Chains A and B, each alone.
Chain A
Amino acid sequence: MADILNYIWLIPVLPFLAFAAAGTVFIGKPATAAAVSIFAIAISFIISIITAVLVFTSAPGFIYESSLRWLDMPGLRVEMGLLIDPLSALMLLVVTTVALLVQIYSLGYMRDDPGFARYFAYQSVFAGSMLGLVLANNFGQIYVFWELVGLCSYLLIGFWYHKDSAKNAAIKAFITNRIGDFGFLLGILLLLITFGTLSFSQLPNQIGQYSNAAMLLVIGLLLFLGPMGKSAQFPLHVWLPDAMEGPTPVSALIHAATMVAAGVYLIARAFFIFSESAQVMSVIAYVGGFTALFAATIAITQNDIKRILAFSTLSQLGYMVMAMGIGAMTAGMFHLTTHAFFKALLFLGAGSVIHALHDEQDIWKMGNLSGKMPVTTVTFIIGALALAGIPPLAGFWSKDEILSGAFAGSHTILYLLGVFVAFLTAFYMFRLIFVAFFGSNHGGLHAHESPAPMTIPLIILSVFAIGAGLVNTGLTDFAFSRYITVSGLEHHEPVSAVMIISSLVAAAGIFLAWLIYQKQIISAEAIKTKFIPIYNLLQNKYYIDEIYAWAGKNLVLGSSRLFEWLDLKVVNGIVDGLAGFARWSGSKLRLLQNGQIQTYTVYIYVGLIVLLLAAICMSVNAWLI
């Protein structure tokens, strides 16, 4: 059993090899490319399961580390390592499970796409990068794979590169992430300069002995910029909704379940740094809480099925980050895990609907899908219930952990905020369901159930969406909390009052959605017209995109224009001016050389006379003195 540790390096390496193979020799053979890719992730999945079994049957403090020299010089050493502890074992499990299911699902979803082989190559490189990130044992390695994951996101969002919207969304995603990475990189540099190491196993000791609180504050805030970009926290959230331009399985894999979770994972991984500074923690908590609320309010007015899910992802990520910020690291990771399953389920379900309706994404053009797509409908509702936090589904337990944490830690504002967001979540999810899956068929579109490669992953994921929450209940003696924790972190027993309140609130949200969109007792139109300014504000996502576009156009391109002018007119102008002066003086002096001997004669004698006069003057001077 412990032998498995010798093969862990295969987990990230195999998908990379599959990428190399699918991207080069098999690029013309789609079926082989897909087979290679799925085979690689399947092997990684099996190794991950065995590893996880090993870790979770050992004592909670299990740790295994090995590393290779990568970049080495006196004062700077970056290693490529493998770190297996409960946290990374959990993430391995989540990532490989979702990645495997999504790749199988893609067999059906992407069947007719001309870029089939390329798609699987990208999927493989994404899986490899994500697994490399999860296994990293130092910040240098994390940064390397962090950027690679960003690249994969760029490639996959822009997969249909012939669409301008996809192209722009891809660029936006990469650049927004780069802004976060800028801070992240600076944070890493500061860490390296201050502590001389980037290793997760050495840093905690060093930081424990370090007392400069201001430095820890700066480092913490800079490092947090990375997760803000990757986990799409306000104000770097703008890329995530646009990322829905990619194929839907990609949205499920990257923009719901795994990549965006990398930010949260990083906070958990580097929790020992963040938790050193109370200010950093409260920044994290409030950024997360604000994002949760902000995104949930936008979600209630959106009409595109994938965008609703995207904003719900933003909102849930906000929850996780908030959990980290209030010190409930375990709860955050728990929510990450359950969310990965039910959000992947929801996205794949949405993909199934979109696939069936030939790329229609507007929920108002759908309707009454329940009869035609029974599997999709049932699994989607399971996912929505899990997301809304209805007991005993997975989302209930994890969301409850976070709310209990906020309640027990007496973060009253954040607790109330969390409860309100839970209400909004239930409301917008069931708004979607009542409009799209029930009611009348508005668009007259003909739907059909999706093929088996697509429905089977839905069914498997819905099992997880139902059951995954149970790992941290009394049934398993709160196993999750015992393994995924850091020293000094106390686990709050779920408070039953909190549980009851949140269930009631979620039920209220569903009930309200039922009243408005199913029974139509309350008119949605009337509310909309009554609050038209607020509706517009929400519908347009608080105009954040417009503000950024304005800033980009006026500030960035403006300074670009200024600098270009400077370069062409001033810097280059001086150079050309010097050349022009040489040319001009040449053209003037050239007149002296007119080729007439007579003129030259004059010069000679004038010169002679001048010399003579000078000589006379000097001799007179000498004589006078």
Chain B
Amino acid sequence: MIGFQHYLLLAALLFGIGLLGIVFKRNAVALLMSVELILNAVNINLVAINKYVLGGSGLGQLFALFVIVVAAAEVAVGLALIINIYRLKKSSDVDDFNILKW
């Protein structure tokens, strides 16, 4: 029987993969994808908590929808930035994006 713990475990796993991606990936697109993974892990948690803790009030779904919207906006802005920087630098490696660093 799949229960609350399983959802949480899945979410934690997804979060961990996303976190490792953020820490170890150098490609900007891959970083954005990792961020998506973390956000999705949160979404799973939100939905699961809505069902098992709040008893299906729909508040969790509401927040999950918010997160999806914000993530979409974030990806849109992020990709636009990455494409612009790529045109400038011919690279999508974050290590090359150090123009603001002293």
Contact = CB atoms under 8 A, between A and B. Distances in A.
> Which among A596, A598, A601 has the greatest number of chain B C-beta atoms within 10 A?
A598
Interface string B90-101: 000011001011
A596 B100 CA distance: 11
Leading 6 A-B pairs by shortest Cβ distance: A595-B101, A598-B23, A602-B23, A601-B22, A601-B23, A598-B22
Contacts of A595: 98, 100-101
A590 to B, nearest CB: 10
B59 interface: no
Contacts of B23: 598, 601-602
B94 A596 contact: yes
Contacts of B17: none
Interface of B: 19, 22-24, 31, 94-95, 98, 100-101
A187 B95 CA distance: 80
A602 B98 CA distance: 19
B46 to A, nearest CB: 20
Nearest to B25: A598
Contacts of B94: 596, 598
9 contacts: A595-B100, A595-B101, A596-B95, A597-B22, A598-B31, A601-B19, A601-B22, A601-B23, A602-B23
A591 to B, nearest CB: 13
A605 interface: yes
Given A596-B95, A598-B24, A605-B19, 4 more contacts: A596-B94, A598-B23, A598-B31, A602-B23
B17 to A, nearest CB: 13
Contacts of A605: 19
Contacts, number: 16
A105 B21 CA distance: 106
Contacts of A596: 94-95
A52 B100 CA distance: 95
A393 B57 CA distance: 137
A83 B98 CA distance: 90
A598 B28 CA distance: 11
Contacts of B101: 595
Nearest to B100: A595
B13 to A, nearest CB: 15
A71 B66 CA distance: 89
Contacts of A597: 22
A144 B97 CA distance: 78
Interface in A301-349: none
B2 to A, nearest CB: 26
A215 B31 CA distance: 92
Nearest to B102: A595
Contacts of B24: 598
A598 B100 CA distance: 16
A602 B22 CA distance: 9
Contacts of B95: 596
Contacts of B22: 597-598, 601
A602 B24 CA distance: 10
A605 B21 CA distance: 13
Nearest to A604: B19
Interface string A596-615: 11100110010000000000
A589 to B, nearest CB: 15
Interface-central residue, B23, B24, B98, B101, by most chain A CB under 10 Å: B23
Contacts of B100: 595
Contacts of A602: 23
Contacts of B19: 601, 605
A598 B95 CA distance: 10
A132 to B, nearest CB: 71
A608 to B, nearest CB: 11
A596 B23 CA distance: 10
Nearest to B95: A596
B69 to A, nearest CB: 23
Contacts of A598: 22-24, 31, 94
